[in-house]
Amino acid sequence: MYACLYRPPAADNALSLEILARDYSPRYERLTPDLVSMDVGGLERLFGSPRAMADEMRCDAASRGARVHVAIAGTWTAAIILAHARPGVTVILPGDEAETLAPMPIGMLEDVKASDVFPSEFTRRLLATVQHWGIKTLGELASLPPADLASRLGPASLMWQTMARGADIRPLIPTLDEERFASTFELEWPVEQLEPLSFVLTRLLEPLSTRLERRDRGAAVLHVVLRLVTREIHARRLDLPAPMRDVRTLRTLALLDLESHPPPAAIDRVTIVIDPTPGRVVQHTLFSRALPTPEQLSTLLARLGAVMGQDRVGAPVTVDTHRPGAFAMTPFSIEHDSGGRPRDARGQATRGQATRRDPASPAAPAVSAGAVMSAVRRCRQPVPARVEVDRGRPVRLTTDRRAFAGGTIVRSAGPWRSTGDWWSTKRYARDEWDVALSDGAVYRIFQDRDTRSWFIDAIVD
């Protein structure tokens, strides 16, 4: 048996229907602020018959200053429709839902849909179409052949036909109180090192992980709040790339973050707070290589950040400048589409294979038969060099760096001059050359016009 409490729009809304429903059943669902459905099966010993239970609910609401419609039926869908259609108290026996709803006008589906209880897709088109057919009541809609109705109006029409019969299209989903995932531990003696702190973090994270698993939740943000002996608070926030609840991973991430940002004094109280999010669903495949899990990737990035610094680990992105080699670092993250495939920088799903362009396509670049494709390997740090210049052109190149050849320049192309960022401290002005040495090596070199220094910028293969 299911009961529904509905408050008309013109009624006083001072009373929370959740509070009223919680007094009668622990399994209730808050559909809207003015509509609550609850499971009242097995409560006859406490409240008597369904009619007595409904009367008590209505009187209880009236004593609290609220006017509500109360309906009890064998399905919560029928109870919702009856609560919208009939004021006061309505009670029907299980199995009589279709017969009771049959004479009601079909417009009741539109009224119920307005409360955002059921999906609203195709609702107006469905009602307009069936009314054009001459269907006026819920019973007439329920009596239509399901196969013919679906072939003409789509599968969504079967959902509304099920509602017209008073059957449930989904089970009642109990509303759960918002749970705070937090734990605190008072230390008997102050802790100064991270190694003993790891045992405290494990003790705090284990019960939190168990609670997350029972609720099918994962940690989206991990807060580590440390109270120091100086009565100061040292708080750290870790934004996790994916929902996770593995104790070992969370403890490792927290310790690595504290290693990079150590507290300035000893610790006498540790608090862990977790911002939960729905758990992660992983779909494996037999035809692709397994990717690192978010736990493994997060731990790796945290270890790299602790060793090299947080500003030296991330993903490179382009910046709005023409300065050669300019880029910026952003926190590393992988975005996925609805199908779980990684997205590239332009937001397009990667296919695992490179897209091939038809050479006959007009968009394909024209390449002559004698053209030679070359690759440029850029030196992340330009290599200092010494260059002799004759009549404005480089004629000889030498360098002290190993693995770089030197000698006479037999061919050269340039200069290509560039300058920019003159308004900032990152101003640059350079002349670039492509040079070929007598031993076959091909380099891209440049001269800094401010310092008159020469550098090897890239190797041309």
Residue 354 inside a domain? The answer is: no
Q: How far apart are CA 7 and CA 36, in angstroms?
A: 9
Domain CATH for 228: 3.30.1490.100
Phi-psi region of 393 (alpha: psi -120 to 50; beta: other; left: phi over 0): beta
Query: In a 3-state reduction of DSSP, which class is residue 154?
Result: coil
269 and 383 in a single domain? The answer is no
Q: Is residue 211 a contact partner of residue 182, using CB atoms and an 8 Å limit?
A: no
Q: Is residue 379 a contact partner of residue 460, using CB atoms and an 8 Å limit?
A: no
Averaged pLDDT for residues 169-190 = 84
20 and 123 in a single domain? The answer is yes
Residue 174 inside a domain? The answer is: no
* E strand segments, 245-392: 267-278, 315-317, 328-330, 376-390
Q: Is residue 456 a contact partner of residue 449, using CB atoms and an 8 Å limit?
A: no
208 and 156 in a single domain? The answer is no
382 and 274 in a single domain? The answer is no
154 and 224 in a single domain? The answer is no
Q: Is residue 268 a contact partner of residue 204, using CB atoms and an 8 Å limit?
A: no
243 and 147 in a single domain? The answer is no
214 and 269 in a single domain? The answer is yes
| Opening angle at CA 219, ends 214 and 224, nearest 5 | 120
Residue 272 inside a domain? The answer is: yes
| Opening angle at CA 296, ends 294 and 297, nearest 5 | 60
Close Cβ partners of 155 (under 8 Å, ≥ 6 residues apart): none
* Residue 273 in this model has a pLDDT that exceeds 90: yes
Range of weakest confidence among 6-10, 115-119, 327-331: 115-119
Query: In a 3-state reduction of DSSP, which class is residue 152?
Result: helix
pLDDT at 282: 63
- Provide the mean pLDDT of the chain: 80
* Residue 300 in this model has a pLDDT that exceeds 80: no
* Residue 2 in this model has a pLDDT that exceeds 70: yes
Close Cβ partners of 333 (under 8 Å, ≥ 6 residues apart): 241, 315
Of the three residues 257, 278, 299, the one that is the final residue of a domain is 278
pTM of the shown model: 0.48
Question: Is residue 112 very low, low, confident or very high in pLDDT (cuts 50, 70, 90)?
Answer: low
Q: Is residue 109 a contact partner of residue 122, using CB atoms and an 8 Å limit?
A: no
Q: How far apart are CA 452 and CA 424, in angstroms?
A: 20
159 and 189 in a single domain? The answer is no
The total of structural domains in the chain comes to 3
153 and 22 in a single domain? The answer is yes
Q: Is residue 99 a contact partner of residue 84, using CB atoms and an 8 Å limit?
A: no
Residue 334 inside a domain? The answer is: no
66 and 134 in a single domain? The answer is yes
Of the three residues 138, 164, 190, the one that is the final residue of a domain is 164
Of the three residues 110, 138, 164, the one that is the final residue of a domain is 164
| Opening angle at CA 35, ends 29 and 40, nearest 5 | 50
Side chain identity at 421, as an amino acid letter?
D
Q: How far apart are CA 277 and CA 299, in angstroms?
A: 20
* Domain membership of residue 439 as a residue range: 376-460
